[in-house]
Chain A
Amino acid sequence: MELLNKIVSKLTQHFQGEVCTGEVLYDFPVITVPSGKVHEVLTFLKNDEELNFHFLTDLTAMQTADEKQLGVIYHLHNMMKNYRVRVKTFMDINKPEVPTATDLWPGANWMERESYDFYGVRFIGHPKLKRILNVDEMDIFPLRKEYPLEDQTRDDKSDKMFGR
């Protein structure tokens, strides 16, 4: 909670106005920023002397429950002080564009390619945004909720008794 307050107040001060909403989920500070601002926020979090989130632990994507938005989730880490923060950003599924983080962390390269591969998030400025785990010829983004895992026309495996 302390860390979250510090991050939010620093961001508010730096950007002169509300730029993020914060919450603590299972002892983990989480901030949500608009997708247009996410690169500036990440740059600030990385370069700020006190916070200094110098390590990108993880980058992944998700789809919201209403299936209308895609999200990108960054996990940042400051190893010296053992601070961790999760940065989330959401954008419209019809225009899923977000600036790349490869200029801040070269390690974001494959993680962004993976997010593109599975969700179709387009990272603007990425050096080589192409599929990584799936075949190049694939024309869908398989982890989106509109592609169910099993064939929905099957009726021999009815789930209506137990499935929620």
Chain B
Amino acid sequence: MSKKENNTTAEPQEEKEYSILNLGPTHPATHGIFQNVLKMDGEIIVEAEPTVGYIHRAFEKLAERRPYAQITPITDRLNYCSSPINNIGWHMTVEKLIKAEIPKRVDYLRVIVMELARISDHIICNTVIGQDTGATTGFLYLFQWREKIYDIFENMCGARLTTNICRIGGFEKEWDKKTWDLIHAFIEGFPKALEEFTSLLERNKIFMDRTINCGPISAEMALSYSFTGPNLRAAGVDYDVRVATPYSSYEDFDFIIPVGQSGDTFDRFRVRQVEMWESLSIIKQAIKKLPEGLCHANIPDFFLPPKDQVYNNMEALIYHFKIVMGETDIPKGEVYHAVEGGNGELGFFLISDGGRTPFRLHFRRPCFIYYQAYPEMIKGTMLSDAIITMSSMNVIAGELDA
């Protein structure tokens, strides 16, 4: 040790010059508005400084002025690749607060919607990893199946991306035959497409060489950085909210939680890949076991009455008016409800003071929390590795900035 010290004092090292590189805010490979100020030594990243907040829209403040039903469109814009999960997570938070009893049929229908959304979320992430490594075929090929999922959503609720699906208490109406036909067609056709996509990339030597050991994270580090979702499972921790604290009757379904080992880009890709198959199997089980009954809970204080009654019946008109104006009584209380979003544990922390709007609403956004480990993960790697590490982490700007 002392010898080494002597050496360094004898011949003072030349000070190294680093170059500063701005990656973003609008770089085509970052899929959103993120800025990273990188300190580079040649092509090696020495330090990274992320700047976030470019599309911050003050959702938590907005939510403090809105009645509960009107907060659903806000949640659409968190992780906009799987907005139905956000919508339903929010509805379940309010249902927990008002202690509503939800029929099994609603739970199962919601599970179908949420798993479809999860597939579409994972399609985006996985095909984009391919795109960023130079394999455009899979991206174009699987994206048409994402379109088909959006067709299903469009038939259910009229919107494709920002769905505002579902209501507090259940669905606004039964799904029509067209929707069911589309769902069945999707289940029929998707496995073949996914298999073809898998054979394009999963055992592809070039893709494996490119992604294995790229941006790895250990399980300990992932846990200490509060990772959840596929990124945590890729590091080897089998934590999934659907299993740990089941909501919406997830305990009725049989599925596995895939886990990786090294938490690198390839593992993250594989975990999402297997999760798509599992989601497909959950959808099939839900359709098979779908119970009969109403598609909404019996909570007239929160669920809008049918239109023919609103026009002809005074009580129904009063309820309609009260619900739309947000004038129904809400109990005081504090609720935390978490769902497994596309990226991990999406939590809603709600404090109600009995008013028509929440007193405080906080979204636990998985992206925001795990993106802070990104500088640590890309330290010492090449610039091109940093790009695919980011795309495999599936950082969604809407969720990051809220």
Contacts and interface: CB of A to CB of B under 8 A. Distances in A.
Interface of A: 25-26, 28, 30, 54-58, 60, 62-63, 65, 73, 75, 79, 82, 84, 86, 105-111, 114, 118, 132-135, 142-143, 149-150, 162-164
A58 B349 contact: yes
B128 to A, nearest CB: 24
Interface of chain B, main secondary structure? mixed
Contacts of B334: 25-26, 28, 30, 86
Contacts of A79: 237, 239, 244
Contacts of A58: 336, 347, 349, 362, 364
A132 B62 CA distance: 18
B369 A164 contact: no
Given A25-B334, A107-B226, A133-B56, 10 more contacts: A58-B349, A60-B362, A75-B347, A82-B244, A107-B224, A107-B227, A107-B370, A109-B372, A118-B60, A162-B326
Contact of A62 (B65, B351, B373, B402): B351
Interface in B274-329: 325-327
B219 to A, nearest CB: 11
Nearest to B221: A106
A75 B245 CA distance: 15
B327 A110 contact: no
A149 B226 contact: no
B340 interface: no
Contact of B368 (A65, A110, A142, A162): A110
Contacts of B226: 55-57, 105, 107-108
B53 interface: yes
A60 B224 CA distance: 17
Contact of A26 (B96, B224, B239): B96
B60 A57 contact: no
A139 B373 CA distance: 28
Contacts of A149: 61-62, 64-65
B401 interface: yes
Nearest to B60: A143
B351 A134 contact: no
Interface residues of B, number: 47
A107 B372 contact: yes
A25 B78 CA distance: 27
B42 interface: no
A75 to B, nearest CB: 6
A118 B60 CA distance: 10
B359 interface: yes
Q: Of B62, B225, B237, B327, which is in contact with the most chain A CB atoms at under 10 Å from its CB? A: B225
B379 to A, nearest CB: 14
Interface in B43-89: 52-53, 56, 58, 60-62, 64-65
A40 to B, nearest CB: 20
Interface of B: 52-53, 56, 58, 60-62, 64-65, 96-97, 223-227, 237, 239, 244-245, 325-327, 333-336, 338, 345, 347, 349, 351, 353, 355-356, 359-360, 362, 364, 368-373, 401-402
A162 B326 CA distance: 9
Given A26-B335, A132-B52, A143 B349 contact: no
A79 B259 CA distance: 15
Given A106-B224, A132-B52, A143 B61 contact: yes
Contacts of A86: 334, 336
Contacts of A54: 223
Please name the 8 residue pairs, one residue from A and one from B, whose CB atoms are nearest each other, closest first.
A107-B226, A133-B53, A107-B225, A110-B372, A133-B56, A58-B364, A60-B362, A149-B65
Contacts of B245: 82, 84
B360 A62 contact: yes
A163 B369 CA distance: 35
A164 B356 contact: yes
A117 B370 CA distance: 18
Contacts of A109: 372
Contacts of B362: 58, 60, 62, 73
B61 A26 contact: no
Nearest to B67: A162
B221 to A, nearest CB: 8
Given A118-B60, A133-B401, A26 B65 contact: no
Given A107-B369, A110-B369, A111-B369, A57 B345 contact: yes
A162 B56 contact: no
Contacts of B62: 149
A108 B356 CA distance: 32
Contacts of A30: 334
B333 to A, nearest CB: 6
Contact of B97 (A26, A108, A135): A26
